[in-house]
Structure 1
Amino acid sequence: MELLDRYFKVRKHTEAICSHLQTEDYVVQPVVDVSPPKWHIGHTTWFFETFILKPYFMGYQEYNPEYNYVFNSYYETVGNRVIRTDRGNLSRPTVIEIYRYREYVDDAMTKFLCAEPAADVKELLILGLNHEEQHQELLLTDIKYILGHNPLFPAYNKNYVSPKVEVSNAGFIRLKEGVYEIGYAGNGFCFDNELNRHKVYLNSFEISPNLVTNAEYLEFINADGYHDFRHWHAEGWDWVKSNKIESPLYWHLIDGEWHAYTFHGLEPLRLHEPVCHISYFEAYAYASWKGMRLPTEFEWEAAAPQFAWGKAWEWTESSYLPYPGFFKAGGAIGEYNGKFMVNQKVLRGASEVTSPGHSRITYRNFFQTHLRWQFTGIRLAK
Structure 2
Amino acid sequence: MPAKPLAAAPGPSVAPVAADLPPPAEGTPDALRLWLSTRFHKARQRTAELVAPLGVEDLMVQSLPDGAPAKWHLAHTTWFFESTVLEPCASGYRTFDPVFHQLFTALDDRFGQHLPAPVLRLLSRPTAAEVMRYRDHVNGAVLHLIDQIPEERLEDISERVQLGIVHERRHQERLLSDVKHAFWSNPLRPTYEPPATLPPSPPLEQTWVGHAGGVVEVGRDDPSPGFDHERPRHAVMLRPFALAGRPVTCGEYLEFMQDGGYAKPTCWLGDGWEAARAEDWQSPLYWEWREGGWQVFTLYGMRPLDPHEPVCHVSWYEADAYARWAGKRLPDESEWEAVAACKECIGNLLGTGHRHPRPGVCRGTEGPWQLFGDVWEWTRSAFMPYPGYTPVESDGAQSGRFMANRMVVRGGSCVTPFDYATPTTRHFLRPTTRTAFTGIRLAEDA
Q: 1:165 to 1:298 in 2, by over 3 A?
A: farther
After superposition, what is the alpha-carbon deviation per residue over 1:85-128, rounded to whole angstroms, capped at 9, x for unaligned? 22112111111111111111112112211123531221111011
**Partner SS for 1:113:** helix
1:152-171 matches, within 5 Å, as 152-160=188-196, 169=205, 171=207
Match of 1:105 among 138, 156, 181: 138
Within 2, Cα distance between the matches of 1:211 and 1:190? 27
Relative distance call for 1:90 and 1:154 in structure 2 (3 A) is same
Alignment equivalent of 1:91, drawn from 124, 128, 153: 124
Q: CA deviation at 1:185?
A: 3.6
Matched residues, number: 381
1:297 aligns with 2:333: yes
Q: From 206, 224, 245, give the equivalent of 1:209.
A: 245
Using the TM superposition, name which of 365-374 and 82-91 deviates more.
82-91
Equivalent position to 1:363, from 425, 439, 443: 425
* Aligned partners of 1:168 and 1:209 also within 8 Å: no
Partner of 1:219: 255
Partner of 1:8: 41
| Aligned twin of 2:5 | none
2:288 is paired with a residue whose SS is strand
* Partner residue in 1 for 2:12: none
Cα 1:133–1:160 change in 2 (3 A) is: farther
C-alpha spacing 1:120/1:75, structure 2 compared with 1 (3 Å): farther
CA distance in 1, matches of 2:237, 2:253: 32
SS at match of 1:53: helix
- Report the secondary structure of 1:317's partner residue: strand
Residue 351 of structure 1 corresponds to 413
Distance of 1:49 and 1:58 partners within structure 2: 13
Alignment CA distance shift 1:56-1:189 (3 Å):
closer
Residue of structure 2 in register with 1:172 after alignment = 208
Q: How far does residue 271 in structure 1 lie from its aligned partner after superposition?
A: 0.9
Q: Which residue of 2 aligns with 1:199?
A: 235
**Number of the residue aligned with 1:20:** 53
Match of 2:379 among 316, 319, 325: 316
- What amino acid is the match of 2:377? E
Offset, 1:342: 0.8
Within 1, Cα distance between the matches of 2:196 and 2:183? Answer: 14
Q: What's the CA shift for 1:78?
A: 2.3
Q: Partner of 2:285: helix, strand, or coil? A: coil
Distance 1:277 1:24, change over 3 A: same
The residue type equivalent to 2:411 in the other structure is G
Distance 1:130 1:168, change over 3 A: same
Structure 1 residues 263, 287: CA separation in 2 closer, same or farther (over 3 Å shift)? same
Which stretches in structure 1 are left out of the alignment for 5+ residues? none
1:37 maps to 70
Q: Which residue of the other structure, out of 385, 388, 392, is the alignment partner of 1:325?
A: 388
Q: Where do 4+ consecutive residues of structure 1 move more than 4 Å?
A: 160-170
CA contact (8 A) 1:165 1:273 kept: no
Pairs within 5 Å for 1:265-276: 265-276=301-312
The alignment status of 1:373 with 2:422, answered yes or no, reads no
Could you tell me which amino acid in structure 2 is paired with residue 240 of structure 1? A
> C-alpha distance in 2, partners of 1:61/1:324?
43
1:55 partner SS: helix
* Cα separation, 2, equivalents of 1:188 and 1:165: 38
The 1-side partners of 2:71 and 2:393 are apart by 30
TM-score with structure 2 setting the length: 0.82
Instruction: Give the secondary-structure state (helix, strand or coil) at the position aligned to 2:311.
Output: coil
Q: Which amino acid aligns with 1:155?
A: T
